């Protein structure tokens, strides 16, 4: 019988959590990608959603598993089982005013929800033909380590934090 990998199990759990929130009217899923890189033998799952009440921002959950992650799980004698997990990152995308206090407010919001131990990176850009008054902000949260299948219950809290960020971003951006 086929034994799903940690990547598959975590992907299915997160999909279920987010589609349940969509069915409950809390969020709207707007995109979903499942990518296989045949050159590197890696997999990436992405699912993007917005708050149902406010569409000023979107959130993308990204999960990646490389060849060594799969090999460590399927052949633990060859590689350390410490490699049998996935890398997870979360990306928020939205427009903001070109004001340092708004950027600082976004940083405070993210740290209040995700904690000080996460790497939170804001990357801003603007259309040079339109001017720098409005910026595109891509804020990414990374965990700096592999997430393992025995942490699968934490995905529910992760999905709640993502939805909470979308709701609270509206206050910071208005």
Give pLDDT tens digits for 66-106.
998 888 877 767 667 788 899 999 999 999 999 999 999 99
46 Cβ contact list (under 8 Å, min separation 6): 31, 32, 33, 34, 35, 60, 61, 62, 63
Arithmetic mean of pLDDT, 150-157: 95
**What's the confidence (pLDDT) of residue 140?**
98
Q: What is the pLDDT of residues 29-45, one digit of tens each?
A: 999 999 999 999 899 99
Query: 19 falls in which pLDDT band (50, 70, 90)?
Result: very high
Arithmetic mean of pLDDT, 132-149: 93
The domain made up of 6-173 has a fold known as Yope Regulator; Chain: A, (3.30.1460)
Q: Is the pLDDT of residue 46 over 60?
A: yes
- Average pLDDT over all residues of the chain: 92
Q: Is the pLDDT of residue 153 over 60?
A: yes
Q: Is the pLDDT of residue 1 over 50?
A: no
Q: pTM above 0.85?
A: yes
Arithmetic mean of pLDDT, 125-139: 90
Q: Is the pLDDT of residue 28 over 90?
A: yes
% of the chain exceeding 70 in pLDDT: 96
């Amino acid at each position: 019988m086929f034994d799903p990998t940690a990547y598959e199990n975590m992907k299915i759990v997160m999909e279920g959590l987010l589609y349940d929130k969509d069915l409950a009217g809390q969020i709207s899923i707007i995109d979903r990608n499942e990518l296989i890189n045949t050159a590197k033998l890696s997999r990436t799952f992405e699912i993007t959603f917005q708050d149902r009440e406010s569409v000023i921002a979107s959130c993308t959950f990204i999960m990646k598993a490389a060849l060594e992650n799969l090999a460590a799980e399927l052949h633990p004698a060859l590689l350390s089982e410490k490699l049998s997990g996935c890398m997870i990152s979360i990306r928020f995308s939205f427009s903001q005013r070109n004001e340092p206090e708004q950027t600082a407010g976004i940083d405070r919001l993210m740290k209040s929800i995700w904690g000080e131990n996460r790497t939170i990176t804001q990357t801003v850009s603007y259309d040079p033909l339109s001017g720098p008054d409005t910026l595109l902000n891509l804020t990414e949260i990374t965990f700096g380590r592999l997430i393992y299948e025995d942490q699968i219950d934490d995905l529910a809290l992760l999905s709640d934090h993502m939805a909470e960020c979308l709701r609270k971003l509206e206050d910071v951006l208005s």
